[in-house]
Chain A
């Protein structure tokens, strides 16, 4: 009872990375709280699925294995999570901020009448005094859900002391995947799915499904060349692909550049996109809103190319090149070619 739960997202019979990252975070939260880490695996053909999660320090795996549970549809998964939570009364529930997590999380929070914070960049346990509805109380061991808030360099800490579970979604790459012990052993509980999911919940049929391997590997790239609104145009932005090709780098973009149509959505770096930690991050025409910085501030060497010497990103850059992208990027390509032998 009152343990930390992670909903594990499963593609086929493989648990996706973001869920493993959340297990690592969940393990730490559970240690701080002195409770157990439990996870939910729902899908079909899940024999041996526990082997994928135990190394991350899971104490209890709840397995729901049935024909209708893969591919994912909303109602059966929501139903099994909600019914399990009514029995288990978890204090914390973490989900990936994926299409599935963002479809399922709000459904669960609505049914449980609990708070859900989207796209958290940090999660920690804290005790504090707080006044809610005019009543001041001391709250012990609460989950602090930290996320950049709209508008500038503001980070908000969200708590939901009066409701359980405390729910949060986190994007892929934000938390670090860490194996606790390759031989860690927990308990496997195989649930009778029919007891948790009435037949009437199988209302949506997946007629066709097409999943491709990602076209790029932004998250794992050692060098990232990223462009912002300051690139000015799609044509200018395309110079970054040229530079990236030379450097064997991947191309990322700020949200402003994507909204302006310079690059595809899946290249977005930042709080609501991908989080990257490359060896080298070259920010071109990116001013550096906190939502963007949240997704790249742990990069090794940061190079900022910006015509505005006061761009906020310059404060965290190792190298600042004061100049227009039109001038600097072709020069970078030229001198890389000339000197890389």
Chain B
């Protein structure tokens, strides 16, 4: 028996290593200074998928992402690490989507993939930290969900049930849930295995149409005729049969009313050095004022 697994992945700016040049002088994000990375918890999700595939040989892992054409990078990365195929949803009308419009779009794409037993994704993406898209996709597909998963402990294919350990506030719990199911994986789950050199060689030239220069069209056509797996399918809004009213800005109930640059009122602060006298002076002052001690 084998499983059909879908992994949801997102390419995000790497907010974990924000250097001094992460901001422009105007106070906006300097995207060029932040490398785009595979959202960390989506990698944890991919590892859970790969473990299921190890356990149920013949299973397939389809990676699905939405974003700019260059987000095909996360699909390639997933292919290097053991995914079987990938899809990139990219289209101008999809831009400006909030979590609800994003989850609608991804749910439509999952429907196009069609057959699935389990949909895995990271708990949240580091550029927004909302943790909303997973549960919203589950709701749109009429499935139940297990969020904050740390490990898929067992999967019974006959009974169509899976047992999962998940993080809860102040502890852990083990739940049994029916397939098909949406699972969002927590950062405390096992890290993802590295790339396989063989798979890297095989897939390094895999692309979506939008990444290819027009003058190379013929080259790619010949390449893909020989090696069809080098074509990563690219889907637009029409391909996934998306209702224009539910995607992008139009499908987003939330609106940004204002963005404000915060200037903190500078306090009258006292500046000290690291000298013994300064540090001891401060400690004494705090002790004398019964502020500490």
Contact = CB atoms under 8 A, between A and B. Distances in A.
Nearest to A313: B264
B177 A204 contact: yes
B130 A118 contact: yes
Interface of B: 13, 15-16, 18, 22-23, 27-29, 98-100, 103, 127-136, 138-140, 144-148, 163, 167-178, 187-188, 249-250, 252-267, 269-274, 276, 278-280, 282-284, 286-287, 291-293
Contact of B135 (A74, A151, A316, A340): A74
B279 A328 contact: yes
Given A109-B100, A144-B257, A205-B175, A150 B292 contact: no
Contact of B283 (A114, A150, A320, A332): A332
A151 B27 CA distance: 8
Given A109-B100, A118-B131, A155-B259, 16 more contacts: A106-B99, A118-B130, A130-B255, A151-B22, A156-B258, A157-B257, A158-B255, A209-B173, A211-B168, A212-B170, A247-B293, A315-B264, A321-B272, A321-B273, A328-B274, A336-B287
Contacts of A33: none
A132 B255 contact: yes
A149 B15 CA distance: 12
B253 A160 contact: yes
B130 to A, nearest CB: 4
Contact of B23 (A115, A118, A152): A152
Interface stretch (A36-44, A62-70, A95-103): A95-103
21 contacts: A107-B135, A107-B139, A116-B130, A119-B129, A151-B22, A153-B261, A154-B259, A159-B255, A204-B176, A206-B175, A210-B172, A210-B173, A211-B169, A265-B188, A290-B262, A316-B266, A318-B269, A321-B272, A321-B274, A331-B276, A335-B284
A140 interface: no
Interface of A: 71, 73-75, 78, 98-100, 102-107, 109-111, 113-119, 128, 130, 132-133, 144, 149-163, 203-214, 223, 247, 256, 259-260, 265, 272, 279-280, 289-290, 293, 297, 301-303, 309, 312, 314-324, 327-328, 331-332, 335-336, 338-340
A161 B256 CA distance: 11
Nearest to B34: A151
B204 to A, nearest CB: 29
Main secondary structure, interface of B, reads mixed
Contacts, number: 256
Nearest to B293: A340
Given A102-B147, A316-B264, A327-B274, A118 B254 contact: no
Given A210-B172, A212-B171, A323-B274, A116 B132 contact: yes
Contacts of A107: 135-136, 138-139, 145
Nearest to B268: A318
A208 B174 contact: yes
A272 B132 contact: no
